[in-house]
Amino acid sequence: MRADPRLLGYLTRSLSYEVGSVLQYMVDAQQCSQWQSHSYAKQFRESVQHELEHIALLVDALVKLGVSPAVPGLPSVRLCQTVRQMMYTNAELESRVIQHYEDALQYCIRRGDETHESLFANILNDETSHLEQLDSQTQFLRSTED
Ligand SMILES: [Fe+2]
Ligand SMILES: [Fe+2]
C-alpha cells in the first residue's frame, strides 16, 4: 500500500526540523564552551541527544512505511552573540516546530491514524517542555541583567 503523501510530507518536514535543531544545538554547545559557559554547553549537548531521539523515531516511522528518509530544506543555523540571544532564537525555533507538530497531530486525528497521532503527540509533548525550559531561562537571564 502506498503511504499517504500528506503524512509523508509531515514526517519529512519533521525530520528537517529535527536535524536543523541538532545542528543548532551543537553550534550553541560549542559556542557556550568557547565562552566558558559550561553548564549551558552541557544543557545544549543534552538537547542534541533529545533531538536525536526524535530523529530516530521519525526514521523508524518512515522506514516502516517503506520510505527512505530524506532531509530537504534544512532550517538555517544561526551563530548568536550571547546566551540570552541563543535562548530567544531557540524559543523561536521550538515555537515553529511546535506549530508544525500541532498541524501534523491534527491531521492524523482527522484521518484516524492512531499510530502517527501517538508519534506526533509524543514529540509535541517533548518540544512543549523544551520551549518551557527555554522560556524560563530567558526570564531568568533577563532578571539577572536588570
Ligand atoms: Fe525535537
Ligand atoms: Fe526541541
Report the range of poorest mean pLDDT among 27-31, 44-48, 52-56, 73-77.
73-77
Domain architecture of the chain: domains with CATH: 5-145 (1.20.1260.10)
Chain centroid to Cα 97, Å, comes to 6
**CB within 8 A of 67, min separation 6: which ones?**
3, 8, 11
- Residue 113 backbone dihedrals phi, psi, to 5 degrees: -95, 90
Q: How close is the Cα of 36 to the center of ligand 2, in Å?
A: 23
Q: How close is the Cα of 117 to the center of ligand 2, in Å?
A: 18
State the pTM of this model: 0.94
Q: How close is the Cα of 127 to the center of ligand 1, in Å?
A: 6
Q: How close is the Cα of 2 to the center of ligand 1, in Å?
A: 27
pLDDT digits (tens, 9 = 90+) for 50-77: 999 999 999 999 999 999 999 988 989 9
